[in-house]
């Protein structure tokens, strides 16, 4: 199965700053089938990005995804207070689909 490694584990930033989150796959992600989710305490994950770079419905344009092959990035421009959360990547190009271990974006 494909192992996804997210870095850093924790990102300490201030509102208004840019967050850059990395997701590296142990093998090529087929068709760049890579998604990003946001999870807040006590809530289910929420879809942000699919297909490596397509924003899900209703997701603000300060969230963007990029990358291909084995290296993917989620960028959050101008962090808003509601953006402080844990972010997960997921590959769905190969079965079993797998998730990264998460990156926590916390307020500095």
Partner 1 sequence: QVQLQESGPGLVKPSETLSLTCTISGGSINSYYWSWVRQSPGKGLEWIGYIYYSGSTNCNPSLKSRVTMSVDTSKKQFSLKLTSVTAADTAVYYCAAGMVRGVLIGRYFFDYWGQGALVTVSS
Please report, as ranges, the residues that interact with partner 1 according to CB under 8 A.
1, 30-31, 33, 35, 37, 43-47, 50, 56, 88, 90, 92-93, 95-102
Spatial distance between the Cα atoms of 16 and 10, rounded to a whole number of angstroms: 17
The residue (of 24 and 46) whose beta carbon lies closer to partner 1 is 46
Spatial distance between the Cα atoms of 63 and 105, rounded to a whole number of angstroms: 14
The residue (of 50 and 84) whose beta carbon lies closer to partner 1 is 50
Spatial distance between the Cα atoms of 66 and 44, rounded to a whole number of angstroms: 24
- Extended beta strands in the chain, E state: 4-7, 10-13, 19-25, 34-39, 46-50, 54-55, 63-68, 71-76, 86-91, 98-99, 103-107
User: Closest approach of Cβ 11 to partner 1, in Å?
Assistant: 17
The residue (of 14 and 43) whose beta carbon lies closer to partner 1 is 43
User: Closest approach of Cβ 73 to partner 1, in Å?
Assistant: 17
User: Closest approach of Cβ 22 to partner 1, in Å?
Assistant: 16
């Amino acid at each position: 199965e494909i192992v996804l490694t997210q870095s850093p584990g924790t990102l300490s930033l201030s509102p208004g700053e840019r967050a850059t989150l990395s997701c590296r796959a142990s093998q090529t992600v087929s068709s760049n089938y890579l998604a990003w989710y946001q999870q807040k305490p006590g809530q289910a994950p929420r879809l942000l990005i699919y297909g490596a770079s397509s924003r899900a419905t209703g997701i603000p344009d300060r969230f963007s995804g990029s990358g291909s092959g084995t290296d993917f990035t989620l960028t959050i421009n101008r962090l808003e207070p509601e953006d402080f959360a844990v972010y997960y990547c997921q590959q769905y190009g190969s079965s079993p689909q797998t998730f990264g271990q998460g990156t926590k974006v916390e307020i500095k």
